[in-house]
Structure 1
């Protein structure tokens, strides 16, 4: 192996080759997916793991999908199918065997060299518009167990052999899923994406040599671990505990779900421990976390807190110990616990609790809370399209702001939610109206809902839409009305969520936090998503930025004066003398 010691340039070239392969997989799925979840919202991820199930490359992927889980799913594939052969493909969505939730279908393909040796595994993970749940939604927050969900569960089930699809599996899905042609189009797109990855890695192995690629993986992991250790050495030493609370829904305690996290920093060792064991047992609802989502949520908070330049792979993860307890709402579920909403709501609360803990280490660390997720503007909508007479099911992405203030910058306005990492796209109003029989009456920022701070959180977003020529079912699982996103280091609270029905007479009616609501023709549903918390004192915000916020309509002149200590003159410009005096009086 001495001849395979790679220099820095070779490491950089090969990781870019692998990430380029992952991007080719991503591009294939984005351009060939049938459902709007894939070809408009881009709710999917592609990655590569080594033959010994270590995460290698995750370019352009959703963090909650890939940080932890691909390794566990690849191991399940090997455990269930020890005799892997070229041409095999496996369908996986079991939250008890390394996946996230039933709605995320995963294609795993082992990359087998000409000698028959397993070299890598490629994974394509795609959220489904419909996965066969008992209700027309992929997020069943009120499901008491996996049987109530009703979705088909595939623990690494073979769906291709010798490159030929096993039609029995396809027929099973077609009989269970409400939009079988749409699902099959997505399934074929996933196969195409994963096969692109397989063929590209086979070509790379022939070009570079398998021994050199194996040596690269080991050295890249070691380099990534060294980078992670050096960055963690900059954290102050100590132990910090924080919590974040999910609003109550059916199946939870009346006060909701309080998630506790304790972070222990050992900078002299370049290590961090994240402890989630102080949390309640699994609940009779769909909010419980799979192990993969619990671990990924912790890593998301850590990487958000230490900078995005550290490679995110099995090497850097070696420096992070995550402690979970079995059968907790925060991970390691026991069958038949429901994990239907595992990728978002409580996972985000785990990320918040860890980030708030890290923020306690001092100014410049951690983040504020991001906004909670799955308001009706990101609901699954379904019904019978009067234009065609055909049923439709799709998750719309009409917008969630939710971004949090950080030590270094303002919020990312269109973040969607913290586990998504800003990777999903927001739907075009015109395309959503084209593909579903709906009319979007309004989509706008709500002023004075930003988390005030030196760096602000995102303001809330209001979306109102209604059915056209039919009734529609709108399924959502909203969080953040009772527990809106909090700021840190003097930052303010971001706007909370809410949802209403607008009746035919124009009156509004409050809707529950988690429900499948039928909206009749002539009615509308109003969705208000969370904003994000602020970071640092609002009195320390650059007055010119406050002026820009006022000009953009995000902040009123009154709020600028009362919260930020910024006074505008009669022409709408900054009155710097009045601003300085106001801030001095406020003790800034």
Structure 2
């Protein structure tokens, strides 16, 4: 139908506002620190066919591909078969999901008996069973990583609120209060989305709401195609490397060819190394998110709504059985690391086409860091997602001590950890001086955190990268510092690898140090005033300032 421009403006912005309100509801209702403080979750509104219309600006990796993730649910449970109270659930990476800890809930939006859309939410859950609390660094297949949920249709009255599905979940997690509380937060967020769309339909009519959902996706497509058309046609290549596969083999290389042809882009990861035996493999849904997020960030304006319309001009392919499109049942828990290398490789290709829009590599490593302890009252599990220093751009330094571009989690405040966990305490939380890559614009600084263990038989488990490698600079910029993790035990310092589980003792101090981002441009071109500011802010030491100035 033909929409009045004023009504379209009101309705489209109302839909976007509803998605953002869902995101706020999700975070404010959460129980665990990983969702409540780190904000590792997202929310969106989909149209009746399950294509993303609007999303909260939270985690790009979780929502860039939410439309494709919904499609296996739609194929098994068409909207015509749904009834009031039904909802759909998935986390299986080999049925369209990402990794098991990200559980997607989809609630149909009924108006006069017709499904006109879906409210969607996803959260990274603190524990979903598996071979170790929080994360199983030793997993050699997906079954060891947690409870697998294929596309399922459930009913709120029958399967939740003490029903069979809720009891099944509760029985398979180590921290049921936090995990089930976070599931309830997802349901609350979806309820808000359902209500807001129903209110719009009641006020403006169902036909106009549906037409707005379609028009908003078409608008994003037009803007994306116009932005791509400004990029010179051609094929541009990039690559990036992970340190190793967690079993001593490496480096592991991601390769990409980005072909620009008029208003469309093809992203082909042919030549990428084969899948590995550890959890670093990346499901294809995550690869779509990584590729599209990089292209949108580099080539387009931030005011373009990120929805399925924005995906239409872009195709992504990767060889089956490769690191970025593994065969079942390869483990995928740490898929964010390989996805980040895909992001780096695409950005390298973009730098050849439009150098002024590219940024240097950041530390760009999701370090999922978990401390766990089985106490008298049951399991206590702390999990946080760390970033590092951001890459520098043509007109800006990299951000200091932030998450990577695909994750966007916040750092959990020390006070929140003190409130929730009794078996450790934070003794240091600081920027790492001289961790930034030098350049006309410097990379972002990394940071470190130290944890003193206050109980016997605690466990640290984490996966990270760039402990031997480092974030590369761009156009003459220097590389950032590498990461490391150490355990101080009495007078001994134990250096740990980048992917490990390690038993701890009372009194141990675990220090995780994240690396910095690469610099952009020649270091000699950096103004002296900026070097002086970095020294004053503690980003660099006096010796580094003197060396840089000379």
What is the Cα deviation at residue 374 of structure 1? 4.2
Q: Which residue of 1 aligns with 2:416?
A: 431
Q: Against the structure 1 CA distance between its residues 52 and 538, is the aligned structure 2 distance closer, same or farther, given a 3 Å change threshold?
A: same
Q: Against the structure 1 CA distance between its residues 520 and 141, is the aligned structure 2 distance closer, same or farther, given a 3 Å change threshold?
A: closer
Q: Which residue of 1 aligns with 2:71?
A: 75
The answer (yes or no) to whether the contact 1:72–1:97 under 8 Å persists in 2 is no
Q: Does 1:531 align with 2:519?
A: no
Structure 1 runs (4+) greater than 6 angstroms displaced: none
Task: For residues 142-190 of structure 1, give each alpha carbon's deviation from its aligned partner in whole angstroms, at most 9, with x where no partner exists.
Answer: 42211232x1111222332458627111121122111122211111121
What is the Cα deviation at residue 217 of structure 1? 2.3
2:82 equivalent among 81, 84, 88: 84
Name the SS for the 1:544 alignment partner. Answer: helix
2:349 equivalent among 339, 342, 357: 357
Provide the TM-score with structure 1 as the length reference. 0.88
Alpha-carbon distance between aligned partners in 2 of 1:509 and 1:49, rounded to the nearest angstrom: 49
Q: Does 1:552 align with 2:537?
A: yes
1:158 equivalent among 148, 153, 157: 153
What is the Cα deviation at residue 434 of structure 1? 2.5
Alpha-carbon distance between aligned partners in 2 of 1:412 and 1:207, rounded to the nearest angstrom: 44
What is the Cα deviation at residue 362 of structure 1? 4.6
Q: Does 1:201 align with 2:192?
A: no
The answer (yes or no) to whether the contact 1:368–1:405 under 8 Å persists in 2 is yes
Alpha-carbon distance between aligned partners in 2 of 1:449 and 1:247, rounded to the nearest angstrom: 18
Q: Which residue of 2 aligns with 1:442?
A: 428
Q: Against the structure 1 CA distance between its residues 222 and 461, is the aligned structure 2 distance closer, same or farther, given a 3 Å change threshold?
A: same
Alpha-carbon distance between aligned partners in 1 of 2:478 and 2:528, rounded to the nearest angstrom: 17
1:134 equivalent among 131, 134, 142: 131
Task: For residues 474-532 of structure 1, give each alpha carbon's deviation from its aligned partner in whole angstroms, at most 9, with x where no partner exists.
Answer: 11001011221111111110111111110122x21111211111221011111111211
Q: Against the structure 1 CA distance between its residues 249 and 524, is the aligned structure 2 distance closer, same or farther, given a 3 Å change threshold?
A: farther
Q: Does 1:337 align with 2:330?
A: yes
Which residues in structure 2 correspond to 1:117-516 (within 5 Å)?
117-138=114-135, 140-149=136-145, 151-161=146-156, 165=160, 167-251=163-247, 254-266=249-261, 269-307=262-300, 308-331=302-325, 333-342=326-335, 344-375=336-367, 378-385=368-375, 389-396=377-384, 400-420=387-407, 422=408, 424-436=409-421, 437-505=423-491, 507-516=492-501
Give the unaligned 5+ runs of structure 2. none
Which residues in structure 2 correspond to 1:106-117 (within 5 Å)?
106-114=104-112, 116-117=113-114
Q: Against the structure 1 CA distance between its residues 6 and 58, is the aligned structure 2 distance closer, same or farther, given a 3 Å change threshold?
A: same
Name the SS for the 2:49 alignment partner. Answer: coil
Name the SS for the 2:356 alignment partner. Answer: coil
Q: Against the structure 1 CA distance between its residues 444 and 171, is the aligned structure 2 distance closer, same or farther, given a 3 Å change threshold?
A: same
Name the SS for the 1:396 alignment partner. Answer: strand
Alpha-carbon distance between aligned partners in 2 of 1:52 and 1:384, rounded to the nearest angstrom: 45
Q: Does 1:522 align with 2:507?
A: yes
Q: Which residue of 2 aligns with 1:574?
A: none
The answer (yes or no) to whether the contact 2:290–2:339 under 8 Å persists in 1 is yes
The answer (yes or no) to whether the contact 2:425–2:451 under 8 Å persists in 1 is yes
Alpha-carbon distance between aligned partners in 2 of 1:192 and 1:486, rounded to the nearest angstrom: 42
Alpha-carbon distance between aligned partners in 2 of 1:86 and 1:410, rounded to the nearest angstrom: 51
What is the Cα deviation at residue 430 of structure 1? 2.3
The answer (yes or no) to whether the contact 2:244–2:251 under 8 Å persists in 1 is yes
Alpha-carbon distance between aligned partners in 2 of 1:553 and 1:98, rounded to the nearest angstrom: 45
The answer (yes or no) to whether the contact 2:371–2:458 under 8 Å persists in 1 is yes
The answer (yes or no) to whether the contact 2:126–2:179 under 8 Å persists in 1 is yes
- Aligned residue pair count: 545
Give the unaligned 5+ runs of structure 1. 567-581, 583-588
